[in-house]
Amino acid sequence: MAKIIDGKAISAAIKDEIKEKTQILFKEKGIRPGLAVLLVGEDPGSMAYVRSKEKTANELGFLSIVERVSDTISEKDVLAFVEKWNNDPTIHGILVQLPLPKHIDEHKVIRTIRPYKDVDGFHPENIGRLVIGLPGFVPCTPRGIMEMLRRSEIETSGKHVVVAGRSNIVGKPIANLLYQKNKYANSIVTIVHTGAKDIRQYTLQADILVAAMGVAERIKADDVKDGVVIIDVGMNRVDDPGKEKGYRLTGDVDFADVSPKASAITPVPGGVGLMTVAMLMQNTYDSAAGLLKY
């Protein structure tokens, strides 16, 4: 049976470390990491994520500011929030929760955030730094995956990693991170996506498979080889009348079908998703502590 890569345990350990370092930073330098979040509208998923971020920031001793505004807000007013926080020395991380309403240009908003406060890691400067291997903020989910691999001592050097998905949030950045000439990277990376006529042709080659397609239980046992390491990024709702809420959460991988063939696997829930919030806190702490030089 596959080893479970426990995102709950790993993220808890990381948050404990951040909390301790935050106390030291405040004691020695009088600095509290400050995280400002703007939530536009009432998308249920976004609201849940923001509540989790707010709760975690408070638990770690951060200065936490959350502005919740109507989805009728103008782009000008969204940019005004960003500029206010750009110029506030007590704010070390700025996050505008995506997606935004269609009348607001997400790319313009992201570009307005100062790169050294871009704790989501989406600013073009930070993406460029990631690609060429310079220090910068790394998007939270890919950074979380790298931490899971490192802390679980999964060998990546020389391994064939197949990334199923090409989003700017997960697929592209994790591919770039894994082929860097670093410890717990140095992999041979293939990206496969919906343009492939036969995805199985690629997934069967994977020593490590990162599934980030957003399709519930798309990866089956027949799609992977024995001994594969599975990193399941998916978080999908599937109707299930037997559950109290009427649905269950599942990943892009059919866990029950695939886990007997895998050497290690992340569960859903309890896997990568929990790491995303932990890495947002890590990025905010790194900003406050001045660990990244721009």
Q: Three-state DSSP class for 95?
A: strand
- Direct distance between the N- and C-terminal alpha carbons of the chain, in angstroms, rounded to an integer: 45
Q: Is the peptide bond before 44 cis (omega within 30 degrees of 0)?
A: no
From 15, 21, 53, 261, the catalytic residue: 53
Query: Whole-angstrom Cα distance, residue 185 to residue 158?
Result: 8
Q: Is 53 a catalytic residue?
A: yes
Measured in degrees and rounded to the nearest 5, phi and psi for residue 229 equal -100, 125
Contact 111, 75 (CB under 8 A): no
* Rg of the Cα atoms in the chain: 19
Look at phi and psi of residue 205 and say left if phi exceeds 0, alpha if psi is from -120 to 50, else beta: alpha
From 6, 21, 117, 120, the catalytic residue: 120
Return the axis-axis angle of helices 7-29 and 272-288, rounded to nearest 10°. 10
From 21, 97, 172, 232, the catalytic residue: 97
DSSP-H helix ranges across 98-254 = 106-112, 124-132, 140-151, 171-178, 200-203
Contact 143, 126 (CB under 8 A): no
Q: Three-state DSSP class for 229?
A: strand
Q: What amino acid positions are annotated as catalytic residues?
A: 53, 97, 120
